[in-house]
Homo-oligomer: A and B are copies of this chain.
């Protein structure tokens, strides 16, 4: 599993890790039962402190996404996929909704909003498609 951390984007590092693990599970990159990298491995790999990774993993355990096998490490829980998929949808929907709501409330017209959304979508797909 690969994990990209941006230490200066305002979002707490442990939350970035949390989210990326969840999204990986929701996207079938991480399968139920599979072991995840040890805290020490992920810490060195991402140049983040061990405690920070441990915190992310701990919170994922609290949410039932991971479960610990004593002395052996952490693995994705059997029912993690459902949890993560629901979570992903919820997170994305919430942010999208608040953004659109703000746009709408500030008296921007619906067609203006649509135009903006389409422009962004084009940008995103071209970023991932052709030119890097």
Contacts and interface: CB of A to CB of B under 8 A. Distances in A.
Contact of A99 (B26, B71, B99, B125): B99
A9 to B, nearest CB: 9
A101 B117 contact: no
Total copies of the chain? 4
Contacts of A106: 23, 26-27, 88, 92
Nearest to A55: B55
Contacts of A96: 99-100, 103, 113, 116-117, 120
Q: Which of A7, A62, A99 has the most CB of B within 10 A?
A: A99
Nearest to A128: B104
Contact of A124 (B67, B100, B120): B100
- Interface size band for A: 35 or more
Residues of A contacting B: mostly = helix
A121 B116 contact: no
Given A23-B106, A107-B27, A101 B88 contact: no
A93 interface: yes
| 7 tightest A-B CB contacts, nearest first | A27-B107, A95-B99, A23-B106, A99-B99, A96-B99, A92-B103, A104-B124
